[in-house]
């Protein structure tokens, strides 16, 4: 059983792929072009070249679940937000449903359900995430939605909180998100669940029980 990682070349995606390889979880890293392959090949991680804005179906072959960690990034305009965070996510969800994949793990955002409450420049991204999350909930695909807070580049602590009240803050390291995704990817029986992900004090397995 293999996990397709969409957004594998991003900061969270790379860390997740490396953790999965170490843990013995087979993954296929979806990347946009061959220039991105070297990093993965050096670590013995399988890649497939595909594009959320183009040819995509072939990436799913041989995989039984998806980790969707793609994002248009903070330096792109609303056009990329629409094409990647909204349309790209919906295309991936529809393909997972059509091909009968067992699970879809979505990396969303903590305020996705209330986009107007977010910072003004983030609202299009949050609105796209909200629509994609709703599409996933309505699909035939068993899912888990992870909603990280404000991302940092701090080292992993392997400790989480699942609400701002518990955390006392709204931050989480990308490393902790990657470790949480690894746990969720390995917990195959966990479906139709949603988790806020923040840096905290509980062990990952306890926080995501």
Write out the catalytic residue numbers: 125
User: Of how many residues is the chain composed?
Assistant: 209
Residue 14 is encoded by which pair of tokens? 């790379």
What is the H or E stretch that residue 152 is in? strand 150-152
Residue 116 is encoded by which pair of tokens? 């107007």
In three state form, how does the secondary structure of 63-108 look? CCEEEECCCCCCCCCHHHHHHHHHHHHHHHHHHHHHCCCCEEEEEC
- Angle CA(171)–CA(199)–CA(147) in degrees, nearest 5? 65
3-state helix, strand, coil in the chain (%, to 5): 45, 20, 35
């Amino acid at each position: 059983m293999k996990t397709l990682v969409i957004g594998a070349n991003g900061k969270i995606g790379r860390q997740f792929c490396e953790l999965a390889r170490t843990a013995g979880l087979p993954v296929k890293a979806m990347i946009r072009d061959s220039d991105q392959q070297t990093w993965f090949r050096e670590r013995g991680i399988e890649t497939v070249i595909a594009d959320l804005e183009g040819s995509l179906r072939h990436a799913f072959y041989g995989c039984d679940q998806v980790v969707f960690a793609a994002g248009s990034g903070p330096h792109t305009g609303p056009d990329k937000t629409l094409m990647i965070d909204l349309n790209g996510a919906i295309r991936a969800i529809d393909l997972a449903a059509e091909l009968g994949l067992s699970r879809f793990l979505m990396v969303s955002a903590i305020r996705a359900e209330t986009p107007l409450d977010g910072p003004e420049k983030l609202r299009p991204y949050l609105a796209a995430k909200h629509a994609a999350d709703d599409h996933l909930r309505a699909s035939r695909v068993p899912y888990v939605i992870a909603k990280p807070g404000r991302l940092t580049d701090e080292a992993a602590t392997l400790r989480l909180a699942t609400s701002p009240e518990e955390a006392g803050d709204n931050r989480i390291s990308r490393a902790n998100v990657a470790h949480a995704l690894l746990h969720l990817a390995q917990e195959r029986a966990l479906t139709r669940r949603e988790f806020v992900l923040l840096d905290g004090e509980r062990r990952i397995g306890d926080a995501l029980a």
